[in-house]
Amino acid sequence: MWVWLVVLAAGAAATSKVVTVFAGINFQGENISFEVGEYKLPSGWNERIESLKVDNGYELVGVNWKNYYMIWDEDAPKLGYFWNNFISTIKVRSKTNELVLLPNKFQSIAGTYFSGLSQTCHLNLQPGNIIRDNESDVVIKLYVVPGYQVTLYTGLNQTGTFKTFNEDQIPFKWGGLEPMSYKVIKAAATATVAVVIPTTSIFSTDAPPIPSPTSTSDNSSRANDLINACDYVDVGVIVGSIAGVVVIVLLAFIIVKKRKKQHQQSQQHEQPYHSLNENSNPPMDIPAVHPGKDVIHGNTEDNKSSKQERVPTIDTNNNTTPSQDRTATTSDRGVDRRISALSLSNTNFELDVSYLRDHRLELVDLYVASNKPLASGAYGEVWLGMYGRQQVAIKRLKSRERTQVQMFINEIILYSQLDSDYIVRFIGASWTRPIEIECVVEYMNLGDLRNYLVTHPPNEFTWDQKYQSIVCIIRGLAYLHTYKVPIIHRDLKSRNVLLDSDKGTKFTDFGTSRAAEVDDTMTNGIGTYQWMAPEVILGTHYSTAADIFSFGIILSEFCTHQVPYTNLRPQSGKVLTQHVLLQEVCAGRVRPSFDGEGVPLWVKDMAFQCLELNPDVRPNALELAALLTTFRDKFHIK
């Protein structure tokens, strides 16, 4: 009997599900239970979780696609507005008390939505100031996770008039007052658990009641009552049952303790949600700068500012790109970049490849099939390879610096989510150690557009052929810009457009791509300068219209077969310097040339619309697609 109980207890402890999420509040409706582990929610559940139950000693980490997260280590009868709608993945693990011990800017216990660009300031248990991109922005919404309360102050550093909120405020109203700082705490418990002492033996329905202890009963009376009660009970059964319960509890405790220790050891170097800092290009932030602000860190060339450093752009298409100034903003985060948020100032942080495990390729099936790379840049190379019987391109980094490698992992994660005939197809990732990770994509046998334009004169690359390539580029942009969360490529240029004799024209290189939301501002200086839109150069807010401007520059390359602006020379006869050229572009005083052999009128017409200084005037990708159809019919393009 005892052996059976021990086996039963061991099996229950080894396979138990410790967290259950419900589609209704107060633990009602459909539900799913989870063991310890990491999970992507099934389709439809990312906007349905209304409540959840958590076993003692465990916690659930809910993460949204922008890598913000919340932790529940006790039952939650209601999740509230924000987390009901935005959990995309969950992690079930042993209890850590992380919200208290490691407060950081990825934790989102409360948050303020602003007017203007409608960015969000996420609040945690570390008191701080509410940072706005613009001083004129005002709070229009406040969300608070149930079970917590946020106190808002009209002055910085928790000074001035204050008010405490225990629930969502949509819309936010505070008598015209505007919050400047905050403090979040866990709300005091409002209910106590009642301990009920049974008045009847649980072993016999006709046994006399066991008196509840009272202050007036003496010891002998209580002893006699207990003895009398035991006359109706099989003492052996009682003792055996109690002993069995003790053994089961002890065994379960030992097993859980052992599993917890193993789980903690396995997570010692991989804690994707133990974020010490928020980052703008995860994981790239340093703590204690300004609450709510991001700081980009890469290969620093100087220490002039904690907010601005020079980060070399990875370019694997034989086009050395100068270092770009990347200015940190509040919300420069890529789509589904699920990475460790440990500070990259600590060069010993562990690389997070957990979200690529489903895409990992068998090393025995993958090998390099060339003696030299197809393309090489300052920080990466692309090699011809074979995966099974399929020709592939293998993208590698030259650097083993962890910051660069994690950025590369982020790019691969984004790549793995895209599925379009106009984007180079992602095949998988390969690594022995994460520091050596490679990205494997389909091979495009004609190389990049820049090289193809140089090696093929206009009589070999006709406008009928160019029209087909232009159609593919526009359709690729339409796919990115109408994605579930619109994606800005941010480095659209001829080197990142690949050609194939059978597969046509496709985009590649998403190392600088990112999601564009109405609550975001962008990082400045991203891209290659000849293709950069004026608003990107100037460091103002930009959107998918920046890609449209870059596309207009590519149209000039179709016309001239030359790098943009190479025809512009001042009186000295020398090529314009980068600084002067960028100034002239921003002022609208220069445009790339569209002179070339047999250039159709519609090309210039479309290009000039794309190169408008005002991004709001430029056509979007869908409008460009419709415009191309009009041109095809009007000019009888094949």
DSSP string, 113-136: EESTT--EEEE-SS-EE---SSTT
Is the bond leading into 283 cis (omega within 30 degrees of zero)? yes
540, two tokens:
């103002």
Given 491, 519, 605, 633, the catalytic residue: 491
Q: Are 514 and 455 in contact (CB under 8 A)?
A: no
Given 520, 547, 595, 633, the catalytic residue: 520
Cα→Cα distances 528→315, 334, 476, 536, 546, Å: 10, 19, 19, 11, 12
With vertex at residue 308, the alpha carbon angle to CA 303 and CA 311, rounded to the nearest 5 degrees, is 90
Counting DSSP H helices and E strands in the chain, the numbers are 13, 27
Kindly provide the residue ranges of all beta strands, DSSP E only, lying in 2-138, ordered along the sequence.
19-24, 28-34, 37-40, 51-54, 58-63, 69-72, 89-94, 110-114, 120-123, 128-129
The position carrying tokens 């601005």 is 308
Q: How far apart are CA 277 and CA 218, in angstroms?
A: 62
Active site residue 491: yes
| Helices 621-635 & 463-481 angle (0-180, nearest 10) | 160
201-240 in b/e form (b: 16+ CB < 10 A) is beeeeebeebeeeeeeeeeeeeeebeeebeeeeeeeeeee
Which among 233, 175, 225 is positioned nearest to 206, based on CA atoms? 233
Classify residue 425 as exposed, middle or buried by CB count within 10 Å of its CB (0-12, 13-18, 19+): middle
16, two tokens:
């138990």
Q: Are 326 and 308 in contact (CB under 8 A)?
A: yes
Cβ count within 10 A of residue 148: 20
φ, ψ (nearest 5 deg) of residue 406: -65, -35
Q: Are 2 and 244 in contact (CB under 8 A)?
A: yes
Q: How far apart are CA 39 and CA 31, in angstroms?
A: 15
216, two tokens:
């007036």
Classify residue 371 as exposed, middle or buried by CB count within 10 Å of its CB (0-12, 13-18, 19+): exposed
β partners of residue 327? 308
Q: How far apart are CA 506 and CA 448, in angstroms?
A: 9
626, two tokens:
């419709």
Residue type at position 131: I
Which among 19, 23, 29, 83 is positioned nearest to 56, based on CA atoms? 19
DSSP 8-state secondary structure symbol assigned to residue 212 = P
Q: Are 424 and 369 in contact (CB under 8 A)?
A: no
3-state secondary structure of 143: strand
Residues with a known catalytic role: 491, 520
